[in-house]
Structure 1
Amino acid sequence: MSTAEHAETNRRDFLYIATGAVGAVGAALTAWPFINQMNPDASVLALASVEVDLAPIAEGQEITIKWRGNPVFVRHRLAAEIEAAKAVPMSDLIDPLARNANLPDGDQATDVNRVVGGKEQFLVMMGVCTHLGCVPLPNQGDYAVVEGSEKHGGWFCPCHGSHYDTAGRIRKGPAPQNLAIPQYSYLSDAKIRIG
């Protein structure tokens, strides 16, 4: 192979590589608007966190808010609900894990590990059954506290019969896990931010 042929080959290889590189950059720049439009818009990003005022929630009352398209239960528990949850031996639980996004993954599902900041009167958890994603009904099920003729705390998913106790832990039925606790923090004694 002569020097002229070798130079021609190198120049041709360079032109092929340069053309391919320019084509790849052009394809990426052309595709970018289509890829970028798949990012969440401002309205979705605004739902990334939500603040909840706890002051109007009376003892024994529960509210449901929407966060990231899912229901979140915020319950002001009665003392009887807290005591019932604390009295449950860990060996009685189907799911021994806290499932609390505010704690390390392996923490036990004690009542204290199901709340944040030691404020045991407020239980904040995702309102989505861990079996098939239904929404459990509050103040129902075999593990609600009965005072007089009323049930307090506890959740029941009528779709397939999952029963959750007063700390949102699965106790009976096909659901494999406790109701998840989202990441949240206290902004003050009467206000939280979820997310």
Structure 2
Amino acid sequence: MAALRTISSLPATASRSLLRSQSTATPLARSAAAACLQVQQRRDDSSLASSKPTTAIPSWGYYKSKKTEGSNKVFGYFMVGSMGALSAAAAKATVQDFLVNMSASADVLAMAKVEVALSSIPEGKNVIIKWRGKPVFIRHRTSDEIDEANNVTISSLRDPQADEDRVKKPEWLVMVGVCTHLGCVPIGEAGDYGGWFCPCHGSHYDISGRIRKGPAPLNLEIPEYDFPTDDTLIIG
């Protein structure tokens, strides 16, 4: 043990000399000398590392682009524009598919408009057709019925409305046949005023479809319609 302490206390040059002497050194001495060299090498490496400055800023030049600033901007603008164009195309396709799926089907569009031949409706008669799932009353009024509708005092009505505001041609009255009280279907040519009567709750409408008596708050609704010819009516 004393020999090991002696060898470990030797300087590095002496340890190297001891390692090179093949004849005079024992195996134990040579092992101790090698250990001393390793310890000395670690000390030298530690002192060298501690001598480097810790505040040095690393260089990032290796990661920088070799192209000019203008080329980099052109590439960036191109990528942004391409992504914007692709996003716009995808959004357009999505919205278009959504609108196509939400649009009305062919059978619904077929019911959107109804054409009626007026020549088949005699004067003084009612015709009921189906439009968008609702009944529509078409009345071919006589001259006496037109005069009766115009001789009503507007201010006395619950829902004041002149007859001329409810028709496009005086002889043709077109109304949605749904009672404005609870959605029942009134009966034509009935009631106290010779127009329509709702037997469910007792609402009476006159020859212009205006509410005159009963719980209904409003006149019968007038749908959108037109006369493309004198003998043709298109509803919707």
- TM-score normalised to structure 1 length: 0.69
Aligned counterpart for 2:163 among listed residues 94, 101, 111? 111
Measure, in 1, the Cα distance between the counterparts of 2:112 and 2:98.
23
> Deviations 1:93-133 (Å, cap 9, x if unpaired)?
1101xxxxxxxxxxxx212222104xx11111111111111
Instruction: Report whether the alignment pairs 1:82 with 2:146.
Output: yes
Amino acid at match of 2:177: G
1:187 is displaced (CA, Å) by 2.3
What do the CA deviations read for 1:36-86 (whole angstroms, capped 9, x no partner)?
433210111122211111111111111001111111111111222222111
Greater relative CO, 1 or 2 (CA 8 Å, sep 6+): 1
How far apart are the structure 1 equivalents of 2:136 and 2:103? 24
Match of 2:207 among 163, 166, 176: 166
**Secondary structure at the residue paired with 1:37?**
helix
Root-mean-square deviation over aligned CA pairs: 3.0
Counterparts of 1:158 and 1:88, CA distance in 2: 24
CA distance in 2, matches of 1:133, 1:24: 47
Aligned partner (choices 128, 139, 144) of residue 64 of structure 1: 128
Q: Distance in 1 between matches of 2:228 and 2:93?
A: 44
Higher helix proportion: 2
Residue number in structure 1 paired with 2:22: none
Which one of the candidate residues 149, 173, 191 is aligned to 1:123? 173
Structure 2: gaps of 5 or more residues: 1-82
In structure 2, the partner of 1:184 is: 226
Contact 1:187/1:193 (8 A) holds in 2: no
Larger radius of gyration: 2
Question: Which of 146, 155, 165 is the equivalent residue of 2:196?
Answer: 155
Higher relative strand content: 1
Give the 3-state SS of the residue equivalent to 2:107 in structure 1: helix
- Say which of 178, 182, 187 aligns to 1:137: 187
Query: Which amino acid is 1:160 matched to?
Result: H
Aligned length: 169
Paired-residue identity, %:
54
Instruction: Give me the whole-angstrom Cα distance separating, in 2, the residues matched to 1:187 and 1:68.
Output: 23
Unpaired runs of at least 5, structure 1 = 1-18, 97-108, 145-153
Q: Normalising by structure 2, what TM-score?
A: 0.58
- Whole-Å separation in 2 of the counterparts to 1:161 and 1:28: 54
Distance 1:186 1:178, change over 3 A: farther
